[in-house]
Amino acid sequence: MKRAIAAFWAAAMLCGCRAESPPEAGEGQAQGEAWLSPERVAQSGISVAAVEEHAISNAIAASGRVSFDDSRVTHVFSPVNGRILKVLVQPGQWVEKGQPLLLLASPDIGQAFSDLVKARADATAAAAELQRQHELFESHAGARRDLETAQDNAAKADAELKRAQQRIALLAPGSQEQVTQDYELRAPIAGEVVARNANPGIEVQGQYSGSTAVELFTIGELDRVWVFADVYEVDLPKVQKEAVVTVKVISYPDKAFQGRVEWISGALDPVSHTARIRCALENPLKELKPEMYATVYIALDETRAVAVPRSSVLRLGDRTVVFIEKGRNAKGLMVFQPRNVTVRDGGGDYVPILDGLQKGDRVVTAGAIFLSGLL
């Protein structure tokens, strides 16, 4: 028995539980308690504070997903078929509106220029024929029917020329006088190249060809993002536009992102019976990335309740506990004891305690994890 007590005391000394001399047989740390000297408490960074009431924002928790702000993002496709000759931008690069993104060799562009040349020739011939028929008709040497046919042909040729010019203006602006098969895909908006799916030598399908086009670039701004969340039908009447939301993601467990509800769906999902809401969040450090899973806490009315800092609450197996300072024992050691509590987590800095604590109880606010290792 004495050997067991001595071994226990040696282990306690190694983990720094207390610096005093070992107790005699029959004396020692009670089961389920941690005893520490005041010096060791200070060295371990353990702090204790009295439990008080705090202003607590009631909140609804909902699962969510981070998304681009649709007004600040664009998905770039090639309008024509072709082979990529050169990629001009890289992921993470900022581009201005109209800046070239890549260079394509496209037979569609060659065909468009060929159509333009043919349309000009046809328009010129039709205009000359119209002039000739007009002169013949004025000199009573030609029939009105021939003049009307010439007028119709001239109108058709002129319309075809305008169509060919507009197509070139759409596909290759500023290049109507230069016949080429090179096509520059340009940025439709200013922003950061968020994603790129283009490499030299790859054959791409164009949107105008009727084939399934592949997205080549995603350009957008991440300074402001949307978070979509699904709110259950029973909670929907409590959610209002402009309500404050707190968003948490796995990547930053100790950080909370603030935003507001911008939109509430007018219809429920027929399977889950949830309504989708959209929240807008400022993201100046670009920590929130599209497609991140998130937990969204939607603030309701504010109440006052007995609450402790989030750092006080531990999950030990299936138990939720806080550590209480019970005072000092006969040897002057500070006694800490875990206590089971029932909490209601609203995502704020303070966790409301529904059961297990009262105002005035002295609870550990820092160092609770260290104490749990001594039990």
**Ordered DSSP codes for 182-216:** EEEEE-SS-EEEEEE---TT-EE--GGGTS-PPP-
Over the chain, what is the mean pLDDT?
84
Residues 278 and 316 occupy one common structural domain: no
| Residue 75 burial class via C-beta count within 10 angstroms: exposed 0-12, middle 13-18, buried 19 and up | middle
Sorting pLDDT into bands at 50, 70 and 90, what band is 125?
very high
Domain final residue pick, 125, 158, 180: 180
DSSP 228-268: EEEEEGGGGGG--TT-EEEEEETT-TT--EEEEEEEEEEEE
What would the mean pLDDT of 70-90 be, rounded to a whole number? Answer: 92
Look at residue 355 and tell me if it is in a domain. yes
Same domain, 150 and 138: yes
**Per-residue b/e over 5-39, b at no fewer than 16 CB within 10 Å?**
beeebeebeeeebbeeeeeeeeeebeeebbbbbee
What is the mean pLDDT of the segment spanning 103-116?
Answer: 85
**Separation between Cα atoms, residue 267 and residue 65, nearest integer Å:** 19
On whether residue 85 sits in a domain, the answer given is no
Is residue 125 domain-shared with residue 156, that is, in the same domain?
A: yes
pLDDT at 16: 42
Rounded distance between C-alpha atoms, residue 45 and residue 142, angstroms: 109
% of the chain beyond a pLDDT of 70: 87
Residue 102 lies in a domain: no
Residue 99 lies in a domain: no
| Domain span holding position 157 | 107-180
| 121 shares a domain with 165 | yes
Phi, psi of 124 (to 5 degrees): -65, -45
Q: Is the dihedral of CA 119, 120, 124, 130 positive or negative?
A: positive
Residue 210 resides in a domain = no
Same domain, 168 and 116: yes
Range 83-106 average pLDDT:
93
Among 267, 282, 302, the domain-final residue is 302
Which residue has better confidence, 23 or 229? Answer: 229
User: Do 350 and 287 lie in a common domain?
Assistant: no
The answer to the question of residue 242 being in a domain is yes
DSSP, collapsed to helix, strand or coil, labels residue 24 as coil
* Single residue among 302, 319, 335 that ends a domain in this structure: 302
Looking at the structure of the chain, the number of domains it has is 3
Residues 225 and 295 in one domain: yes
Per-residue pLDDT, averaged over 326-332, amounts to 87
- Residues 140-187 have pLDDT tens digits of 888 888 888 989 999 999 999 898 888 887 776 655 556 678 888 999
pLDDT bracket for residue 299 (50, 70, 90): confident
Residues 312 and 297 in one domain: no
Residue 102 scores a pLDDT above 60: yes
> Are 361 and 324 a contacting pair, CB within 8 Å?
yes
> What CATH number did the domain enclosing 234 receive?
2.40.30.170
254 has pLDDT over 60? yes
Closest C-alpha among 112, 117, 116, 119 to residue 154: 119
Q: Let me know if residue 65 belongs to a domain.
A: yes
On whether both 159 and 112 belong to a single domain, the answer is yes
Same domain, 331 and 368: yes
- State yes or no: pLDDT of 122 exceeds 50: yes
The number of helix segments (H) and strand segments (E) in the chain equals: 5, 22
Helix H or strand E segment including 102: strand 100-105
Q: Which amino acid is at 7?
A: A
Same domain, 290 and 325: no
Residue 282's pLDDT is 95
Tokens encoding 19: 């610096």
**In this structure, how many other beta carbons lie within 10 angstroms of the beta carbon of residue 215?**
13
Q: Is residue 259 part of a domain?
A: yes
Q: Dump pLDDT digits (tens) for 27-72.
A: 446 677 888 989 988 888 899 999 988 877 678 889 999 999 998 9
The enclosing domain of 49 has a CATH number of 2.40.420.20
Domain shared by 292 and 318, yes or no: no
pLDDT band at 88 (very low <50, low <70, confident <90, very high): very high
CA-based nearest residue to 259, from 282, 228, 290? 282
51 and 308 Cβ atoms separated by less than 8 Å: yes
CATH number at residue 152: 1.10.287
Element (H, E) at 352: strand 350-355
pLDDT band at 346 (very low <50, low <70, confident <90, very high): low
Please provide the DSSP assignment of 258-323 as one string: EEEEEEEEEEE-TTT-EEEEEEEEE-TT--S-TT-EEEEEEEEEEEEEEEEEGGG-EEETTEEEEE
What pLDDT, in 10s, does the model give residues 188-214? 999 999 999 999 999 998 877 666 788
**pLDDT-above-90 percentage for the chain:** 44
pLDDT at 117 over 60: yes
pLDDT of residue 13: 41
